Chains A and B, each alone.
Chain A
Amino acid sequence: MIRLENVSKSFTNGKPVVSNVSFEVNTGETMVLLGTSGSGKTTTLRMINRLTDSSSGNIYVNGTPVTTQQPETLRRGIGYVLQDNGLFPHYTVAENIAIIPELLQWDKKRIIDRTAILMEKLHLPVSEYLHAYPQQLSGGQQQRVGLARALAADPPVLLMDEPFGALDPVTRASVRKEFRSLDEVHSKTVIIVTHDVQEAFELGTYICLMDKGIVQQIGTPAELLFAPANDFVHSFFHEQRLLLELKALKLADIRPWLTGTDQLKNGVIESNLTPEFKIAVPLNGGNSCWEALEQTTAGEMTIVQFDNGIAELNTNALMDAVKQYKQTRVHGRTTELH
């Protein structure tokens, strides 16, 4: 759990970098700090593990103020991932992963076991890469080692500064996907800094959009899209708006506007199918509208399985429901500006 209370940071010349930031991230949640460069998002992150000291305000990690702890002790309990991975070039993969466990003086056997488990989870074959040096790995592999290193001592908190920023788009997507599917991450408090809107939408439970050191809005991706707190937030997502909307909206969100769902019941699917339709993977309420659209536009039979019923979708019905959802949202509640 991480909590920031009215945290500010000014340069020595008095110019504010971060003003009055407050938010709370609970265990199992991911907060994405989103903004353009110079927005203060990285500074905010670095104040949490005290690589930068705050000028005012309070920061709590797992309920303890960070200033009451030795910086070294604090940092050893926080996983830290950097954009350019920051692997030690003179250490092998195994040695890099073992850095924090070594600092915490784990015994050898435990370190070796832990390293092997992590490498396996991150798809780095132990036999091939254990004694390799970082420069012998591809960018994606290096970043995975960086991830393994941050997770090595199983810290309750993970701070990630543009973790996938240095990777090419294809590798980035695959490493990101791997990261999302890591079971270890689901039980941690995660804060990710990024300027990539797509990444923020994909990874964030909440997004904290910052500009010029000031928080513009904090909320779920859908809240930022459909109930922007101000013009900045609204215009920030101007590009790719439709894509983002479709990604942010869950099928459960548009359920009320999906017609004809009630009469379909479990077990009816099979009988209703005409042979010329291919059967796609059944979707559920947790899937995004984007995923549904991918199926409908591919000409596949799209079936959504809700908790209390099943709907058959086509592109028109889907887009229509989205449109109606948006019309109601404009008049709905908005997230308060912090």
Chain B
Amino acid sequence: MEEQQSFIEFVQQQSGKLLEQTLQHIGLTFISLLLAVLIGVPLGILITRRKKLAGTVLGVAGVLQTIPSIALLGFMIPLLGIGAQPAIVALFLYALLPIIRNTYTGIQQVNPTVTDAAIGMGMSKQQLLFKVQLPLAMPVLLAGIRTATVINVGVATLAAYIAAGGLGEFIFGGIALNNTNMILAGAVPAALLAIIFDWILSRMQRLNLRKVKKSLYIFPFLLLILSSFYLLPTVYGTQLVAGFTPEFMGRKDGNLGLKKIYGLKIRTVVISDMIMYKAAYEKKLDVISGSSTDGRVKAYDLIVLKDDKHIFPPYYAAPIVRQETLDKYPELTSVLNKLSGIINDSIMTELNYRVDYLKQDPAVVAKDFLVASHLWQPEKHGTKGSIRIGAKIFGDGYILANMYKMLVNGYTDIEAITKTGLGGTKICFEALTNGQIDLYPEYTGTGLLVLLQAGQPVVDSLIGDNQKVYDYVAGEFTRRFNIRWLAPIGFNNTYALMMRRQQAVTLNITSISDLTKYLVHH
């Protein structure tokens, strides 16, 4: 195992990336803020003059504000795709309410006697606005901009989900990888940005605006300059664009491996796996880091590139069972092994497609498959005892757990109960070791890296060979946890790079090496 890196070391090592993300973050925040000021302030002024509009405008802006930020980003994707545009629009919408509302309130709270005096002395509407209303509303207006800035610095972290960059890349990558240094490398600068901008604006609020009137004109320019930060990092790039999940970005068996082993150089954006497949389908991205058996691979007609240098560890699925349970019900082993070897990657993808994409009931999908494979038998309603079958929250698990339940109920006198939706690996495994469940489907890669936490030398010696990994994991589990790995089911749900079938065929790319070569020459 590598030595634990310190936070400082991590920051030093990643300083280039950190600077880029920080600039992107500032850029995103201020482009949207600038737009919000340009639109929100005039709108706020308008509604002080047309009071009837005030309710509607503030209402709409208020409703926009209440939409959860991740949902707002979600709404933007069908309209604007992924990348900077939807992120900026979403941030702009968030910044709008505080700016409109504070412009409105600021002008409303100007002493009516003062406005009355101004009009009575013969000021025109323009003079009234610029000499009286805006200067007197300025502290409140600035407070609105201040609120908007702080909100935007925070929400801009979510931009990492839709390939718009920013410090969210580190934060979400860190969360996915359980890498505290990486989380902090994103979170600390984001927090500092919020604090610094808040402080600067609070100073501006307190200044005597009459005396520093000229310096106030600097403000828009400052906004423009800060906004342009976003454009800096994106000047380099390749013809193809890759979208990787935050987790994949930081993994040795992910982007780091691609760079090191394959020498892959591709323009990369970070994106949430929820929208990644669709973005590839919509040609917003060309290469994505998917999961090989995900239903959306089929739904969006993507193909998996061959991992010809074996950087992705094998994630073959197999049921893992408590030894106690097997001792009690020896007949289980043969029943559970009935699935072994009959579900390959494409079958699993197909099954996931039906559940994830076509939204069919996992139980129905499981039964249909068993019937088609001539494995299904009617329930025996046996009374010999009961076992509990667990599963993680994603598609594979639901379907497999349902199949095992039907097999156990059909072939033995044991009654099987499913306990699906047990969350991630940790929860499932603890439920199994504590005897709350008797079995669940697990992946060899997960067993090796997450549950056994095998050291780097061990991993390196095994990783290229599926059988070696299986043997090692099965042996260690029996020894350390008294848990048995039954025969692998046959599919490998691992990381994979994928492309649109059409494009891959046109460019004649079938493996990651092909992709690397193509990128070198183009």
Contact = CB atoms under 8 A, between A and B. Distances in A.
B135 A76 contact: no
Interface string B124-145: 1001000110011000000000
A149 B111 CA distance: 18
B123 interface: yes
B106 to A, nearest CB: 13
A152 to B, nearest CB: 9
Interface in B341-375: none
B123 A80 contact: no
Interface stretch (B113-121, B311-319, B505-513): B113-121
Contact of B136 (A82, A85, A90, A99): A90
Given A51-B116, A85-B113, A103 B210 contact: no
Contact of B122 (A89, A90, A103): A103
A74 B210 CA distance: 28
B208 to A, nearest CB: 8
A81 to B, nearest CB: 9
A75 interface: yes
B121 A82 contact: no
A73 interface: yes
Interface in A266-300: none
Contact of B117 (A72, A82, A90, A103): A82
Interface string A142-172: 0000000100000000000000000000000
B289 to A, nearest CB: 57
Contact of A49 (B114, B120, B136, B209): B120
Interface in A84-112: 84-91, 99-100, 103
Given A103-B123, A103-B127, A88 B113 contact: no
A154 B144 CA distance: 42
B113 A75 contact: no
A74 B122 contact: yes
A89 B114 contact: yes
B136 A76 contact: no
A83 B123 CA distance: 19
A57 B124 CA distance: 26
Residue among A82, A87, A90 having the largest count of chain B Cβ atoms under 10 Å = A90
B113 A84 contact: yes
Given A90-B136, A90-B210, A91-B210, A103 B121 contact: yes
A87 B117 contact: yes
Contacts of A77: 122
Nearest to A95: B210
Q: At the interface, is chain B mostly helix, strand, loop or mixed? A: helix
A82 B116 CA distance: 9
A75 B209 contact: no
Contacts of B118: 86, 88
A86 to B, nearest CB: 3
B502 to A, nearest CB: 65
A86 B123 contact: no
Interface in B127-175: 127, 131-132, 135-136
A72 B124 contact: yes
B121 A89 contact: no
A90 B121 contact: no
Contacts of A99: 121
A38 B19 CA distance: 67
A78 B119 CA distance: 12
Given A90-B135, A90-B210, A72 B122 contact: yes
A87 B127 CA distance: 16
A7 B209 CA distance: 44
Contacts of A85: 113, 117
B221 to A, nearest CB: 23
B136 A72 contact: no
A80 B114 contact: no
A250 B113 CA distance: 38
A191 to B, nearest CB: 13
Interface in B96-118: 111, 113-114, 116-118
A83 B111 CA distance: 13
Given A84-B113, A86-B113, A73 B122 contact: yes
A76 B121 contact: yes
A90 B120 contact: no
Contacts of B210: 90-91
Given A86-B114, A87-B114, A90-B209, A51 B119 contact: yes
A99 B128 CA distance: 12
Nearest to A103: B122
Interface in A45-80: 49, 51, 71-78, 80
Contacts of A91: 210
A73 B209 CA distance: 29
A103 B120 CA distance: 12
A80 B136 contact: no
25 contacts: A51-B119, A51-B120, A71-B122, A72-B123, A72-B124, A75-B122, A76-B121, A77-B122, A78-B120, A80-B117, A82-B113, A82-B117, A82-B120, A86-B111, A86-B113, A86-B114, A86-B116, A87-B117, A88-B132, A88-B136, A89-B114, A89-B136, A91-B210, A103-B121, A149-B121
Counting from the closest, the 8 A-B pairs by CB-CB distance are: A86-B117, A75-B122, A76-B122, A80-B120, A86-B113, A84-B113, A72-B122, A90-B135
Interface of A: 49, 51, 71-78, 80, 82-91, 99-100, 103, 149
